[in-house]
Every structure is written in structure tokens, then in C-alpha cells.
A = this chain, B = another copy of it.
């Protein structure tokens, strides 16, 4: 498929500066785009990338100066570029699939309008799905499940019994929601399982990444607030209460009964011990190990985690350690202090 710069500008309600008749064959990131292709430049920080770009044209915000070639001016270049990529490269979204005859939907389950339930998906007893749900192949929805509208469960994701999921939430492939919490007590030399009788409640507009796990509560709900975004391979343990609009990056773990406020960011591979609270808008650095409460708005780093300023000072001192060592030796020599044997 090829189109002109002018046609693309019309598609994204942008303004053409320069030659609108140029033929465009592909949309690509600015670093890769070639003549005959169109990239986008997000903002003024990427002006240099734009100057060096070999593409015939670009989608630009008003803050970026032209580079002499034709361009499409828009207020939101990312949004416009998404539209262009979809137009040039993506197939249209297929119509609702209906309930595939190879799916296993329990006779007592209730399914809303316009469903897409693919082969080998399973919907358990008395589960209720809202309208427009996409349950991909092999996804397993347990018994007494409740999801509202426009939810997507990608292939082979598993939702144990009694899970509740809000509107527009997306669960990626092989994620597991509602497995038993890790609770035992030692009796006569054996770890005896504490039955995990709670469930998981996930809010609206949440996204859960591939192979992430959110365990059910012991006697209550493990909760994920509206708008939280959870990356791949994340572990959220039983009884945790995650606030709204959190960003939980890949491979982090939150141990049992910990809670986060709203707009918390936890960077990759960090770990949070159990029974602590991370305040609103706090930021936990990558690979940090949080062992106690973090105040609202605080930024912590390191393992054990400490406020960013303290940790940076410690890290700087750490680099100086070999130098300290030489200094100490010199001073002791100077003073005639001998090392103890």
C-alpha cells in the first residue's frame, strides 16, 4: 500500500508543509526510516534525530523546526503516527469471533453481547462476562468469575475461581490471577498449608503482563487499583493492596500484605518485603530492596533501599573506597600507627 503525504495529513488532521504529493510506502522509527518512508519526531528533544533522518518527510509537533523536507504538522505526533502505522501496515481488527464451537463454556455461565471466545478457552460454572469480551485460545476462567465489559484475556492466561476484573482490563498470555498465596505454618516438622480462601479483585483499565502472577488473599481480596499497569513476570503476593495508576515494571516482587498508594512507580527487578506501605507517587529504583515503609513522594534506591540522595552519596563514597584505603595507610605511616596482628 502506498499513499501520499497529503493523504496521510488528511488522515491525521495535520497540516502539510512542503510537497504533499510525495509517495510514502512505509512508516518507521526515525532512526531507521529511509527515503520514501515516514517517521515521527516526538518533541524538541529529538530535533537532532530529525535533522539526520534520511526519510522524505516526517510527522512533527510545532516545537520542532523543519529540516528542509516536507512534513506533516500535528499537535500530537505519537497519536498521529499510530494512526499512520495502522493505516499502512496493520490489518483491520477482525469482527467479534462469537463463541467458538471448540471453546468450553459452562452451561451456567452468562456471556454478554459481541463476545469473542476462541478455541479451547474455558469459562467455568456460574461465571459472568460482560459485553465485548475477548477470551483467547486456551485462556481458562474459573468458576464464579465476574468480568465486566470489553476485557481481553490473551491465550493461556489463567484466572482461578472467584476472580473479579474491571472494564477494559487486559491480561496477557500465561499470566496467572488468583493462585494460592504462599502461606504455611510449621507443625510437627512439616509446613502445613494455610487454606487460601480469599480471591483477587482487579480494577478497570488495568494491564497485567505475560507470565505475571497475582495471588489470592488468605481470607480477603488481593486488590489491584484502577489504571495500574503491570509488566511481565511480576509477582504480587497474597493480601497485597496495590493502589491506582501504579507502574510496576518487569520482574518486581511485592511480598504478602504490602500496600501501595496511587501513582507509585516500582522499577524493574525491585523487591518489596511484606507488610509495608509505599506512599502515593513514591518511586522505587530498579533492583532496590525495600525493607520498610516509603513515604509519599519519596524516591528510594539500593538494597536495602534508602532515600535516593543518601544512596547516591553512599555510592559515590563506595567508588572512593580504594582511595580511602590508601589514605588511611598513608596517615598511619605518617603517625607511626602500626596494624594490629
Residues of A within 8 A of B (CB): 27-29, 32, 78, 81-82, 85-86, 89-91, 100, 102, 104, 118-120, 122, 136-138, 140, 143-144, 154-156, 158, 160, 170, 172-174, 176, 179-180, 182, 184-185, 189-191, 193-195, 197, 205, 207, 209-213, 215, 218-220, 227, 229, 231-233, 235, 237, 245, 247, 249-251, 253, 255, 268-269, 271, 273, 286-287, 289, 303-304, 306, 313-315, 317-322, 324-325, 327-328, 330-332, 334-335, 337
Residue in chain B with minimal CB distance to A144: B91
A179 contact set on B, CB distance < 8 A: 154, 172-173, 209-210, 232
Which chain B residues lie closer than 8 Å to A158 at the CB level?
Answer: 138, 154-156, 173-174, 210
Instruction: Identify which of B182, B185, B195, B197 contacts A209 (C-beta below 8 A).
Output: B182
Looking at A120, A218, A247, the one whose CB has the most chain B CB atoms below 10 A away is A120
List of B residues within 8 angstroms of A231 by Cβ: 182, 235
Taking a contact as CB atoms under 8 Å apart, the answer to whether A213 and B189 are in contact is no
Q: A314-B321, A330-B337 are in contact. List 8 more A-B contacts (CB 8 A).
A: A122-B138, A154-B160, A191-B247, A268-B271, A313-B322, A318-B321, A320-B325, A324-B324
